Amino acid sequence: MTAVRCLHIFTDETLNARDIQLQLERVKAKNEILERDNGKLEERCDELFEEIVRMKESQREVEEEQEKLFKDIETLEDENFYLRKYVDKIQELEEMTNTSKRLDQLKDRQQRRKIKELKTNVERALWFAKAFGLRLASVTFKATNDKDASIEL
C-alpha cells in the first residue's frame, strides 16, 4: 500500500526568487560597506597602536630623564650638605681672632711664613672656583697702613 501525503503550501510561506535576489544584493552592498569600514578601522587601529608604541617610548625616555634628575638632585643635596658643614666650620674659624702680631710688625722670615700660611688658607677657602671653571691667579690684600699686599698663587 502506498501512502499518500498531502502537503499544503500557502503563498505567503513561499519566497519569490526576485525578492531573494534583491535581499542578496542588499546584503552584499551592506557587506561591502562593512568591509570598507572595517578596513578604515583596521588602519586607524594600526595608527593608534603606533602612537601607543611612540608614547610608551616617550614615557620611558621621560622616566629615564626623571631618574637622572633625581640622582642629580641627590648629588647636589649631598654637596650642599658638605658645603653647609664647610661654611659652618669657616664661621667657627671666623670667630677666632688673630692673637699674633700684624704682618708689618714681623721680621722677614716670619712674614714669609705667615704669607705662605695665608696663601694655603686662601687656596683652601676658594677651592670652589675650579667648579666654575676659574683658576685663582693671585689675591690682593690691603694692609691697615693702606699698603697693598699681593700673593701670587
pLDDT at 96 over 70: no
Q: What is the pLDDT of residue 10?
A: 78
Going by C-beta distance under 8 Å and a sequence separation of 6 or more, which residues neighbour residue 144?
A: 102, 104
| Residue 3 is assigned to a structural domain of this protein | no
Domain boundary among the residues 97, 117, 133 is at 97
Q: What percent of the chain has pLDDT over 70?
A: 95
Structural domain containing residue 124: 101-152
* Helix/strand number for the chain, H first, E second: 2, 2
**Which has more confidence, 107 or 39?**
39
pLDDT at 97 over 70: no
Mean pLDDT within 22-38:
96
Q: What span, in angstroms and rounded, lies between the C-alpha atoms of 8 and 5?
A: 10
Domain boundary among the residues 81, 97, 113 is at 97
| Residue 85 is assigned to a structural domain of this protein | yes
Mean pLDDT within 8-36:
90
**Which has more confidence, 19 or 93?**
19
Query: Which stretches of 95-143 are DSSP H helices?
Result: 108-125
Same domain, 59 and 112: no
CB 113 within 8 Å of CB 101? no
| Residue 117 is assigned to a structural domain of this protein | yes
| Residue 5 is assigned to a structural domain of this protein | no
**Cβ neighbour number for residue 85 with a 10 Å cutoff:** 10
Q: What span, in angstroms and rounded, lies between the C-alpha atoms of 10 and 13?
A: 5
Q: What is the pLDDT of residue 55?
A: 97
Q: Which three cell numbers stand for residue 83?
A: 658645603
> 32 has which bridge partners?
none
pLDDT at 101 over 80: no
Confidence of residue 126 (pLDDT cuts 50, 70, 90): confident
pLDDT at 102 over 80: no
This prediction's pTM = 0.41
Same domain, 86 and 110: no
Domain count, the chain: 2
